Amino acid sequence: MRIVIAGAGRVGGTVAEALTEEGHDLTIIDRDSELISHISNDVDAICIEGSATDVDILKDADSGNADMFLAITEADETNLVSSVLAKNMGANYIIARLRNPEYLGKESYVKQALGISLLINPELLCAREILRIIQFRGASHATTFTGGNTELLKYKVSVKDKLCGTSVRDTRSITSANILVCYIINEDGVFIPSADYVYRENDVLAITGNFHNLKKFFNSVVPRSGKIRNAIIYGGGRVTVYLARLLMQTGIEVTIIEEDRARCERLCELVPHAHIVCGDGTKRDVMIEEGIMETDAYIALTNDDGNNIITSIYAKHCDVGMVVSKTEHVHFADLMEISIIDKIITPKILAARQIVGYVRAINNSLSQEIESIYYLEDGQLDALEFKIKNDSAVIGVPLMELKIRNDIKIAAIIRNSTTMMPTGESIIEKGDAVVIIAKANEIKRIEDILV
C-alpha cells in the first residue's frame, strides 16, 4: 500500500521501520531536519522536510493518492489538521494520534466529524497495559482479538507451579478456568501444542479467554499475597492521569508523587480523588513517608528513564509486590529479563503495534474472508480472524468431527458480539467470526485449516 506518515519521531520511526519491512511504499513528512536525516538513513522511504499542515507539502507527498495517511506527530492540532487536509485531498484511510485527556470519551464524535478511521493515544494504551499487568499478576500481554473482547496473555511455568508436569488437556480442570493454550514458547522454539503435551519448567504459555476466566486462571496459578488495594505512581504526566482514573475505577487507592508544583495543582483538578504529593520521588525519605514500605504496587512514569528504573529497583527492595516502570528507549525494555522489575513498558512500541496491526488488517481486508491478521512472536505465527460465509465446509459440524490440522489452533469463536472459547462440541455457524492461530503464511482461507 501507499502510505504517508506525518511525524518521524519515536512512534513514527518505529511504525516506518515495521511497515518498510512488510513492503509498503512509504513517504515520511517531518519539519525537523535532524529527524528526517536520521530516518532517511534507516528506512527505505521518500522523506520530505516540512510541516504536515502545509498543503503544498502534502501535495508533494502525493497524500491525495495515499491508501493510508498516518498523522502521528507529537502535536494533536497538527495531527487533526493534517488528517482533515489529507482526507479532503483523497486519502483513503486516516490514522491520527490524539494524546490530550480532554478528548477521552469523545473519540467516536471526532472520528465521524473529521473522517478519521482510527485514533491512537499512546499514553492511554500504556495506562491500559499497566492496568492489565496489575489485574493479571504474573502475566505479560501479547495482543487482543475481536475488538478487544479477547485477550492473549503469556504465563511462564515455574518448577513449583501446579501446572508443571501436567498436560495441556488437564489445564481447565486444574485451574477451573475456561481458557485455551494457543501456543508455547521454550528452548525448542514456538509451537502449537497437542492436548497430550506435558508442561515443563520455563515453558511460556500463550493463553486466551475472556476477562473472567483469565482472572480465574492467574488467581489459580500465581501465588498471591493478597489483592492490590493501593498504588504509588511516580510522575504526573498524561499516562499517570489515565492510569490513576483506571485504577480508582477498580477500587484501588492511588498516590501520585510529582516534583513540579504547577503540575501538582493541575493533577488535583484532573484526578481529584487521588492523593497528590509534591516531592522528589528519588529521595528515600519522601518514598518512605508516602508509604513505599506498605504499598501493593509501584509504577514509575516520569520522563526520566534512569529515575524510573532506579526508583523501581528501590521499590522491589522495599518488597513491593508489583513494580512497573516506563521507558522511552526500546533497549531498556530488555532489562526486564535480567532485572527484578516486574514489567517495563515502552509506550511507543504499544502505539506502533496497534498502528501496524490496523494497517495489516486493512491490507488483508482485500480477502473476502479475512477480517484481521495479527503477527505473533516476530512473525513466526499468524492469528487470523475469519468471517464465515454460508458455503464454508466448516459450518454445522462439531469441531471434534472436523479433520483439523494438528498445527492449527482455533482460539475463539465470536457470535453476535459474544466471544466463546471453543470445545470439541462447538459448532461454527454462518456469520461467525473465528480466530485461527497457525504458522506464518500458511492459512489463506478458512478451509485451509482442514487436513
Euclidean distance between CA atoms 7 and 350, whole angstroms: 17
Residue 142 has pLDDT above 70, yes or no: no
Confidence of residue 451 (pLDDT cuts 50, 70, 90): confident
pLDDT, tens digit, 9 for 90 and up, residues 204-221: 999 998 888 888 898 888
pLDDT, tens digit, 9 for 90 and up, residues 3-42: 999 999 989 998 999 899 888 999 999 999 999 999 999 9
Amino acid in the structure at residue 358: Y
Which cell numbers in the block locate residue 194? 497437542
**Residue 427 DSSP code:** B
Kindly report the backbone phi and psi dihedral angles of residue 293, in degrees, each rounded to the nearest multiple of 5, phi listed first.
Answer: -75, -20
The domains of the chain, with CATH numbers, are: 2-120 (3.40.50.720), 137-221 (3.30.70.1450), 230-350 (3.40.50.720), 368-449 (3.30.70.1450)
pLDDT, tens digit, 9 for 90 and up, residues 179-201: 999 999 999 999 999 999 999 99
Residue 235 has pLDDT above 60, yes or no: yes
Looking at residue 336, its pLDDT comes to 55
Residue 278 has pLDDT above 90, yes or no: yes
Compute the C-alpha angle 296/141/245, nearest 5°.
Answer: 50
Which cell numbers in the block locate residue 413? 469463536
pLDDT higher for 192 or 377? 192
Mean pLDDT calculated for residue range 137-161: 75
Confidence of residue 433 (pLDDT cuts 50, 70, 90): confident
Query: Could you tell me what percent of the chain has a pLDDT over 70?
Result: 93
Euclidean distance between CA atoms 367 and 12, whole angstroms: 28
Mean pLDDT calculated for residue range 296-309: 94
Mean pLDDT calculated for residue range 403-421: 88
Euclidean distance between CA atoms 432 and 389, whole angstroms: 8
Looking at residue 39, its pLDDT comes to 94
43-57, 251-265, 377-391: lowest mean pLDDT where? 377-391
Residue 53 has pLDDT above 80, yes or no: yes
Name the pTM for this structure.
0.81
Confidence of residue 134 (pLDDT cuts 50, 70, 90): confident
Which cell numbers in the block locate residue 195? 492436548
Residues 178/215, Cβ–Cβ less than 8 Å: no
Euclidean distance between CA atoms 244 and 270, whole angstroms: 10
